[in-house]
């Protein structure tokens, strides 16, 4: 259990650094702020062409304003394989992403992962993943029991540029978007491709 002011409760990763982390558990890490600037990355914060390779890790009960477990920002690239995200939380000033916040031309590649019980707070989007003007590739993953005001599982949107989400061979079930009853929500200039996946109500 670690804490940090503003970003990266356990790890702050920047400027081209791309460590590999395997078979590790991140529990109850917190990134917090006392200003109007959102804290980001309850466990891991990647910034400015940084990233991380994660294999066989568990993220449980981590918390921040954006990206309860992981924030990927400004052209950062992160690969996540065989990991579990359980009961992580995004709230406060941020946009959402109970488990992962991915933004600003960054890329997140998630495969063989489980997202369960992650939440984004009031007026937030993406109970599990929030993707803003960035790219998300999701393969062989299960999303269940995640919740937010909008897009209980995955949200993707844009302001000025583009975003993309590719989801393959995944399960999206029993996630709650409290305001709009959505589990997946792709808005603006998002290019979305969901194939060979079991989406409740879809």
What is the tens place of the pLDDT at every residue in 85-143? 999 999 877 899 999 999 999 999 999 999 999 999 888 999 999 999 999 999 999 99
Burial label for 32, CB within 10 Å (0-12, 13-18, 19+), is middle
CA-to-CA distance for 8 and 12, rounded, in angstroms? 5
CA-to-CA distance for 1 and 187, rounded, in angstroms? 36
pLDDT at residue 146 greater than cutoff 90: yes
Helix, strand, coil distribution of the chain in percent, nearest 5: 0, 50, 50
pTM equals 0.96
N- to C-terminal Cα distance for the chain? 39
Question: 26: pLDDT confidence band, cut at 50, 70 and 90?
Answer: very high
Domain count, the chain: 1
**How far are the Cα atoms of 79, 110, 113, 122, 134 from residue 23, in angstroms, in the given order?**
14, 16, 13, 33, 27
Question: Cβ distance 143 to 167 under 8 Å?
Answer: no
Instruction: Give the domain extent around 115.
Output: 3-199
pLDDT the model gives residue 41: 95
């Amino acid at each position: 259990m670690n804490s940090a002011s503003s970003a990266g409760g356990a790890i702050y990763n920047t400027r081209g650094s791309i460590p590999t982390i395997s078979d590790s558990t991140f529990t109850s890490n917190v990134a917090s702020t006392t200003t109007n600037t959102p804290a980001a990355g309850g466990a891991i914060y990647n910034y400015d062409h940084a990233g991380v390779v994660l294999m066989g890790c568990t993220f449980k009960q981590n918390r921040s304003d954006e990206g309860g477990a992981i924030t990927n920002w400004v052209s950062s690239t992160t690969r996540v394989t065989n990991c579990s995200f359980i009961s992580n939380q995004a709230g406060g000033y941020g946009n959402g992403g109970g488990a992962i916040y991915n933004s600003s031309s960054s890329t997140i590649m998630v495969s063989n992962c489980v997202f369960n019980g992650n939440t984004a707070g009031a007026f937030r989007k993406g109970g599990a993943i929030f993707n803003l003007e960035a790219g998300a590739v999701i393969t062989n993953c299960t999303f269940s029991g995640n919740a937010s005001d909008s897009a209980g599982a995955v949200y993707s949107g844009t302001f000025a540029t583009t975003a993309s989400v590719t989801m393959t061979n995944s399960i999206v079930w029993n996630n709650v978007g409290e305001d709009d009853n959505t589990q997946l929500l792709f808005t603006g200039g998002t290019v979305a491709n969901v194939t060979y996946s079991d989406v409740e109500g879809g």
